[in-house]
Amino acid sequence: MTELKRPVSRVSAGEVYEAGRARRIVVTLRPPNVIALRAQGCRKEYCLTTETCFAMAVRAHVEAEHRKKTRKK
């Protein structure tokens, strides 16, 4: 796997309503372990570490599985 040595930015297909209109989300991966998110055309960034993102994804998955099981009962 390639190591992250410099920032890489990509525009996602997801959209958010920001600054008066719908804007696509720009995702930036920064070394060594930061994920920055911002609305396209806006300067304000929101940053998370990869560890935090992983923990949030695991929690969301566990909650979704729990909801799925409770619906079946």
Task: Tell how many helices (H) and how many strands (E) occur in the chain.
Answer: 1, 4
* pLDDT tens for each residue of 38-67: 999 999 999 999 999 999 999 999 999 999
Report pLDDT for 54.
97
User: 30 with 36: CB under 8 angstroms?
Assistant: yes
pTM tops 0.85? no
User: 33 with 50: CB under 8 angstroms?
Assistant: yes
- For residue 25, pLDDT over 90 is answered with yes
Q: Which of 35, 45, 37 is nearest to 4 (CA)?
A: 35
* pLDDT tens for each residue of 6-22: 999 999 999 999 999 99
3-state helix, strand, coil in the chain (%, to 5): 30, 40, 25
